[in-house]
Structure 1
Amino acid sequence: MGDVAMTVPVLLALTQEHPNLKITFLTKPFFAPIVSEIPNVKVLTADVRGEHKGIFGLWKLFRQMRTLEIDAVADLHNVLRSNILKLFFRLYAIPVEQMDKGRKEKRELTSGKLKALRPLTPMYLRYKMVFEHLGLSFDVNKHHVLGKQKITTEVSKELFPISKKIIGIAPFAAFQGKVYPQHQMEKLLVELNNLDNSRIILFGGGKKETEILEQWENTFSNCISAAGKLTFQEELRVISNLRLMISMDSGNGHLAAMYGVPVITLWGITHPFAGFTPFGQSDSNQILSDRERFPLIPTSVYGNKFPPGYDKAMETISPQTIYDKIKELL
């Protein structure tokens, strides 16, 4: 989800510079709302667990795409499925350019050895280079973000009391190495709950996560959980209207950033230098675990690999540090 969200500023910049360009964006159905608001972008969805499963399913998908009279393909994912589709397109002499994921340099960055850190190319620039290799030049800057979306449903409106500053918190991630400890997040919520003129909206999904968010909603009078109450499209509208988002190194931070919402990212065993900093966010919005105590950080790009004891890395981020940054941005 975060990968798709990071394409948004690039596609906005590209379509503004080349308004006659027609883009078909191939993705899974759930992700379609992320890019559906971009001018000149039509979404085509792939049912990779059903109709388009396996090599014969991908051939069927390719035949559907052939009817669109595509002139060139920009592969922004570079995985097995897109590599198979690439072969099909090249059989018909349709040019394909693929993103260089920088796998070798990312392996070196996360080698589990002591190293001097150097920032790798940000993901949005890797996307931009794919289009440039297709002969499309353009610039991307922090202004290439989507605008606020209209709050439409009654449930969404309930989340936005008049004259309140709405703070979003997405406290979970796919892997535990990127999740802020629950007891420390609760200490932060104690402080945020007493902030004047503010409301905290909690984001997450899954049974266990939803139960934790509902527990916090019941404990803190100024917190409300959005989990299970909104469709994904409604959730995007809510995120677009936030004053601020606090996120792990995960998809919700990227979703907020594509709307130009300030994002505070908490980093555990991953690190901004891998290239996954939310778009347009300053270095000062990146709150890092202590590398003096955990010198091998980053140990993983995705947060799924770490040496013994490194699961405690995020405990070195104090709730007070986060709270002070929130007050500064508000």
Structure 2
Amino acid sequence: MPKATHILVIRLSAMGDVAMTVPVIRVLAQTYPDLKITVISRSFFKPFFEGIANLNFLEADVYGKHKRLGLIKLAKEAQEHGIDAVADLHNVLRSKIITKYLKFKGFKTARINKGRTEKRVLISSKGKNISQLKTTHQRYADVFEKLGFPIDLEKYAAPPKKRLTPKLNGLLGIEQKKLIGIAPFAAYESKMYPLDLMAELIRKLDETDKYRIFLFGGGKKEMAQLQKLENPFANVTNVAAKLTFEEELALISNLDLMLSMDSGNGHLAAMYGVPVVTLWGVTHPYAGFVPFNQPDTNQLLADHKKYPLIPTSIYGNNFPKGYEDAMKTISVEIVILKIKEVLS
């Protein structure tokens, strides 16, 4: 079979997982400048892929016209774009339907190995003798290697910062200050820094008058909490629901640092080459979800002596009683020292 010239890349959700594909696909495009790439994902994620050479985006409307058998229609749309190979970076029922149809039609296909067995072993080890698993980014890269396109993720070149609109420049203000993003929320509370400690952290950063701090999040409950975090402080701006998604991405690309939980915003910042400090609760960096190109020293973990069973789950949805408080053992002082170290 001749080498592929146009790869279909499938990754439908979730936001953080789709964001993790971006640095990998950038390296792929940089390494093979003549290769065409078509990405299938939700339309909301299209801005992630702007500026990548030879890349076309195909919207997956999996709750509308591409629902159920509509996935075959989506596969046919991909065919019409001239693809000749398929990289399934999702490996779920929807992506399998598309991939199997195209394989039946004669296209070369490759699918991600999510490492489910290794991850089960990591959790069942109860915190003893654990070791680093392959990163999700490398698992994505392995799929392209199966198709004949090996890539070296160390050769990643971050894209330029996005242009700031007058609206965003207004948020930044006239004074030259370091720009810090803070994303305090995650899918599970076991992965969230306690809000009282977060408020103390923000207060101490604000008091220095050296930083402009932007709070990221979404949802009605989250927005109310972000507003409480913003109100007392002169240097803090809650941008939730105040910016378009494209504006949020432009702002994130211009940050000097993002402070995030084990959640999507850290991956958004990392895909622009922004330094990310991540706070970890009952999950662990060894599972392979550290934001792209971020050093081990930027990963702040709960006290393993007090919470020896960590990691208790891959996604934060399972933990013993009392472990929901694990992140309280990451002191405000430690986080501030790390922020200052990275920004220096």
Cα distance in 2 between the residues matched to 1:238 and 1:141: 25
Give the number of equivalent residue pairs.
328
Residue of 166, 173, 184 corresponding to 1:161:
173
Cα distance in 2 between the residues matched to 1:306 and 1:138: 37
1:322 corresponds to: 335
Cα distance in 2 between the residues matched to 1:104 and 1:227: 38
Q: CA RMSD, aligned part only?
A: 1.2
Q: Match for 1:301: what amino acid?
A: I
Cα distance in 1 between the residues matched to 2:151 and 2:340: 36
Matches within 5 A, 1:179-258: 179-258=192-271
Q: Match for 2:30: what amino acid?
A: Q
1:302 corresponds to: 315
2:10 corresponds to: none
2:127–2:311 Cα contact (<8 Å) kept: no
Residue of 12, 16, 19 corresponding to 2:26:
12
Which has the higher relative contact order, 1 or 2, with Cα contacts under 8 A spaced 6 or more apart? 1
1:119-143 deviations in Å (ceiling 9; x for gaps)? 0001111111100110112211264
Matches within 5 A, 1:54-203: 54=68, 56-111=69-124, 113-141=126-154, 143-154=156-167, 156-162=168-174, 163-203=176-216
- Unmatched 5+ stretches in structure 2: 1-14
Runs (4 or more) in structure 1 with deviation over 4 Å come to none
1:149–1:241 Cα contact (<8 Å) kept: yes
Does the alignment pair 1:34 with 2:48?
yes
Cα distance in 2 between the residues matched to 1:138 and 1:158: 40
Distance 1:66 1:250, change over 3 A: same
Indicate the SS of the match to 1:110: helix
Residue of 281, 286, 295 corresponding to 1:268:
281
Q: Match for 2:286: what amino acid?
A: F
1:159–1:201 Cα contact (<8 Å) kept: no
Indicate the SS of the match to 1:219: coil
CA positional deviation for 1:37: 2.4
1:36–1:43 Cα contact (<8 Å) kept: no
Cα distance in 2 between the residues matched to 1:224 and 1:129: 40
Q: TM-score, normalised by structure 1?
A: 0.97
Indicate the SS of the match to 1:141: helix
Does the alignment pair 1:22 with 2:36?
yes
2:276–2:298 Cα contact (<8 Å) kept: yes
Cα distance in 1 between the residues matched to 2:180 and 2:155: 21
Q: Match for 2:225: what amino acid?
A: I
Cα distance in 1 between the residues matched to 2:125 and 2:59: 38
2:126–2:311 Cα contact (<8 Å) kept: no
1:198-221 deviations in Å (ceiling 9; x for gaps)? 111000000011111112211112
1:142-179 deviations in Å (ceiling 9; x for gaps)? 6432220001241x222212312111100001111111
- Unmatched 5+ stretches in structure 1: none
2:26–2:156 Cα contact (<8 Å) kept: no
2:65 corresponds to: 51
Cα distance in 2 between the residues matched to 1:186 and 1:138: 42
Cα distance in 2 between the residues matched to 1:249 and 1:34: 19
Cα distance in 1 between the residues matched to 2:43 and 2:155: 28
Cα distance in 1 between the residues matched to 2:301 and 2:291: 14
Q: Match for 2:23: what amino acid?
A: P
1:75–1:82 Cα contact (<8 Å) kept: yes
CA positional deviation for 1:84: 1.1
CA positional deviation for 1:83: 0.9
